Amino acid sequence: MSGGVDQNPEWLATSIMHRRGASAGREGETHSLTEERQSTYHYTIGPYSEPVLHIKPGDRVVVETRDAFAGALKSERDKPSELLRVPFLNPQNGPIMVEGAEKGDALAVYIESMWPRGENPVGTCANIAEFGGLTGTLYTAMLNEPLPEKVRKISVDREKVYWSDRVTLPYKPHIGTLSVSPEIDSISSLTPDQHGGNMDLPDMGPGSVTYLPVRSSGARLFIGDAHACQGDGECCGTAVEYPTTTTIVVDVIKGWTLDWPRLERADFIMAIGSARPLEDATRIAFRDLIRWMVADYGFDIWDAYMMLSQCALVRLGNFVDPKYTMGAGIRKTFVEE
């Protein structure tokens, strides 16, 4: 994870996206999905919303994402309980229709850059009552008093996240929610699952390619929930949530039928599972990584299983959303011949 840089890295030419994409390396058109064009942001990911854009494999889209609170938290004195209303959290751009994508294909989304949007950009982190990893919640129902509500406004620039007088963090953006549409269900933008969704995985930033399992014609891509930085697990439930200009390049890999999202970066590949309890998210990620190593890299299943026991890379995305997200990865040097 580096910063929000634009320059496409050399390894991209060897990525699965470039080798197998339907664009066949064709330089695509660039589309602009501004706030105006998006107009209505979405809080549920499904087949029932109106497309905002039609693109071709290889096309680039410059997306104006809103923060996860849709801008409702304006000051540190704001109370989330007064200003936020479930299920209208985590607004998504889209759906973007991708020509030629059909059920059974994979959608490839390369994140080219993520930059803070607006003058004097500011991110927002909130401690929301009955939401987060160390508190009783809607599902982990407790009788304890909720934690105190807190709102933090954090200045952000293209290098740094100015957390507090004491601590400055590096700017390491990623996209929290990236989805294709389920076949017939429509899933809250707060929830990750097989379709992608609210994975909150720090590796899913500039320089990464995410592969998503297409379940309907046109794939119906949704994107939103940018984080200027996020720790593993997103423990309090929110990251440095901020509005961005996020640039993606989209491609279609025909006939690559996935069960769960996958991710590729310069030096590793990663399978992503989302479920509760957290061990199930972990199991999903590991099983899918093993199946990937068997199908695409020629490993014997038991060799892959036992070898990952020696060299797997695990990333906790979140343990705060309605389903938790884990990534299981392996360095490319260990799988490529």
Q: Report strand pairing: 150-156 vs 192-193.
A: unpaired
Considering the complex, state which of residue 115 and residue 131 has its C-beta at the smaller distance from a copy of itself: 131
66 vs 71: CA distance, rounded Å: 7
Cβ-based nearer residue to a copy of itself, 223 or 275: 275
Q: Which of 59/288 has CB closer to a copy of itself?
A: 288
> At its nearest, how many Å lie between a copy of itself and the CB of residue 320?
9
**Nearest approach, Cβ of 45 to a copy of itself (angstroms)?**
9
Q: How far is the CB of 171 from a copy of itself (least distance, A)?
A: 11
Q: Which is nearer to a copy of itself, 46 or 116 (CB)?
A: 46
Give the shortest CB-238-to-a copy of itself separation in angstroms.
7
The nearer residue to a copy of itself, 295 or 306, going by C-beta atoms, is: 306
Contact 279, 328 (CB under 8 A): no
In the sheet that holds 174-179, the strands lie side by side as 53-55, 92-98, 221-227, 174-179, 196-197, 192-193
Which DSSP letter does residue 279 get? H
Task: Tell me how far apart the alpha carbons of residues 139 and 169 are, in angstroms, rounded to a whole number.
Answer: 32
Rounded to 5 degrees, φ, ψ at 311 are -150, 10
Residue 88: CB minimum distance to a copy of itself, A: 8
Contacts of 81 (CB under 8 A, 6+ apart): 128, 129, 149
* Whole-angstrom distance, CA of residue 34 vs CA of residue 13: 29
* Residue nearer to a copy of itself on the CB measure, 101 or 293: 293
Tokens of 152: 């933090």
DSSP secondary structure code for residue 283 in this structure: H
- Residue 243 and residue 121 in contact, taking contact as beta carbons nearer than 8 Å: yes
In the bound state with a copy of itself, the residue whose beta carbon lies nearer, of 39 and 309, is 309
User: Which residues have a Cβ under 8 Å from the Cβ of 304 and sit 6 or more positions away?
Assistant: 289, 290, 293, 294
Written as six digits, the tokens of 23 are 């664009």
Q: Give whichever of 60 and 150 is closer to a copy of itself, judged by the CB atom.
A: 150
Whole-number minimum distance, CB 149 to a copy of itself, in Å?
A: 10
Q: Find, among 266, 281, 272, the residue nearest to 328 by Cα.
A: 272
C-alpha angle 87/272/206, rounded to 5°? 85
**Beta carbon of residue 290, minimum distance to a copy of itself (angstroms, whole number):** 7
